[in-house]
Amino acid sequence: MTRAEIVPVDPLHIRELCAVLREREAAGFRQLHQDPEAMIAQEVATSFMVFAGVVDGEVIALGGVKCAGLLSDEAYAWLICSERVAEFPIAFARSVLKVFALVRRRFKTIWGLVAADFPSSVHWLEWMGFTVEPPDAAGVRLFWYGERPARN
């Protein structure tokens, strides 16, 4: 039986996930000329809440939320996944829904950005109840839950 769980992030999770990133995400890091491990470590270090999605002991996703301060009611959400996420759609969705419920209790508005050429992610965000805007000139789509953030 598959065991899916959300656990606190351990620094080793970052290295493990970077070894198995989805090709689309790995390509994004290459395009930015950035080291995925360093960028994800920075996201983890600067996030208010962070989570690791683990299936049968293997990290398949890391995510978190960032906010301007402890009293902020708005949070920026981020998520990085491995190719194996697609193998566990129901377990992944259930786990994310639990985390999303926790984040919604804390923040009035949750927002983020998604590449327009990542249609499965856009569909998944809409399924979760996010509003997803049309892509901007750079091919990036703003998504949010709650009130629309004051972002351009």
Q: Which secondary structure element, helix H or strand E, spans residue 39, and what is its range? A: helix 36-45
- The CATH number that domain 4-145 falls under is 3.40.630.30
Residue ranges of domains in the chain: 4-145
Helix, strand or coil, per DSSP, at residue 118: coil
In the predicted structure, residue 54 carries a pLDDT above the cut 70: yes
Question: How far is residue 144's CA from residue 36's CA, in Å, rounded to a whole number?
Answer: 25
Question: How far is residue 117's CA from residue 130's CA, in Å, rounded to a whole number?
Answer: 17
Nearest in space to 130 (alpha carbons), one of 144, 140, 116: 144
Question: How far is residue 15's CA from residue 5's CA, in Å, rounded to a whole number?
Answer: 19
In the predicted structure, residue 61 carries a pLDDT above the cut 60: yes
Question: How far is residue 102's CA from residue 106's CA, in Å, rounded to a whole number?
Answer: 7
Q: What's the pLDDT tens digit per position in 85-136?
A: 888 888 888 888 889 999 999 999 999 999 988 888 899 899 999 999 999 9
- Where would I find the beta strands (DSSP E) of 22-121? 49-55, 58-67, 74-81, 109-115
Residue 151's pLDDT band, with cuts at 50, 70 and 90, is low
Percent of the chain with pLDDT over 70: 99
pLDDT, position 83:
86
pTM, full prediction: 0.89
